[in-house]
C-alpha cells in the first residue's frame, strides 16, 4: 500500500494583513451606494464535495477524488446606511456587474457578481442602524458572455 509523503511546513510568503480596517466593497454599477461598510467578508473558494470512488475492490477505506471546478462562495457584510439606500438596492439588486473588495493594504480582489439581498436590522434606540448584504459571485462576464474567474491585484511587497 502506498503512503503519502511527509511535507514540512515552511514560512509563508508575503505579508499578512495586520488589521481588517479599512476594507470596502465597490459595485461598478453603483460605486457610491448609500451604505458605509462595517464588516466585509470577501468570497471564499470552494472545490466542492469529493467524488465517491469506492468500489468492491477497496479493502479498508472509502476513497474520494477531487472535483475539477471551483465555486466562489458568497460575499457578505454589515453596513450603516442612509435610508435612500432602498432606492440604490432596487436599482442594484440582481444586476450582474464587477464587484471589487478593497483590502487595507490597497490590494484588490475583483469578481463578477450581483447583489443578492439586503436585510435591515432592527432599529433600536441607542444603536446605529445597520443592514446585512449578500453578494453572489457569478464567475461570468455578462458583457463578453464568457466564464471569468476572480482577479487579485496585490500591492508590491505582498
Confidence of residue 1 (pLDDT cuts 50, 70, 90): low
User: Tens digit of pLDDT for each residue in 95-133?
Assistant: 999 999 999 999 999 999 999 999 999 999 999 999 999
What pLDDT score does 156 carry? 77
Tell me the pTM. 0.91
Q: What average pLDDT does the segment 54-73 reach?
A: 97
Check: CB of residue 25 under 8 Å from CB of residue 78: no
| Residue listed under C-alpha cell 445597520 | 130
What pLDDT score does 90 carry? 96
What pLDDT score does 157 carry? 64
What pLDDT score does 15 carry? 87
- Which DSSP state fits 93? B
What pLDDT score does 158 carry? 56
Domains of the chain listed by start with CATH number? 24-153 (2.40.30.200)
| Residue listed under C-alpha cell 472509502 | 62
For 94, residues 6+ apart whose C-beta sits below 8 A from its C-beta are 114, 115, 116
User: Tens digit of pLDDT for each residue in 5-53?
Assistant: 999 999 988 889 999 999 999 999 999 999 999 999 999 999 999 999 9
Amino acid at each position: 500500500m502506498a503512503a503519502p509523503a511527509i511535507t514540512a511546513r515552511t514560512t509563508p510568503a508575503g505579508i499578512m494583513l495586520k488589521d481588517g480596517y479599512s476594507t470596502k466593497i465597490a459595485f461598478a454599477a453603483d460605486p457610491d451606494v448609500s451604505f458605509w461598510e462595517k464588516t466585509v467578508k470577501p468570497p471564499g473558494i470552494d472545490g466542492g464535495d469529493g467524488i465517491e470512488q469506492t468500489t468492491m475492490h477497496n479493502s479498508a477505506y472509502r476513497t474520494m477524488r477531487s472535483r475539477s471546478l471551483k465555486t466562489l462562495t458568497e460575499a457578505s457584510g454589515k453596513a450603516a446606511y442612509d435610508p435612500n439606500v432602498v432606492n440604490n438596492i432596487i436599482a442594484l439588486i440582481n444586476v450582474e456587474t464587477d464587484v471589487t473588495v478593497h483590502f487595507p493594504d490597497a490590494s484588490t480582489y475583483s469578481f463578477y457578481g450581483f447583489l443578492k439581498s439586503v436585510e435591515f436590522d432592527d432599529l433600536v434606540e441607542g444603536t446605529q442602524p445597520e443592514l446585512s448584504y449578500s453578494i453572489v459571485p457569478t464567475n461570468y462576464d455578462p458583457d463578453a458572455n464568457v466564464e471569468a474567474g476572480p482577479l487579485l491585484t496585490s500591492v508590491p511587497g505582498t
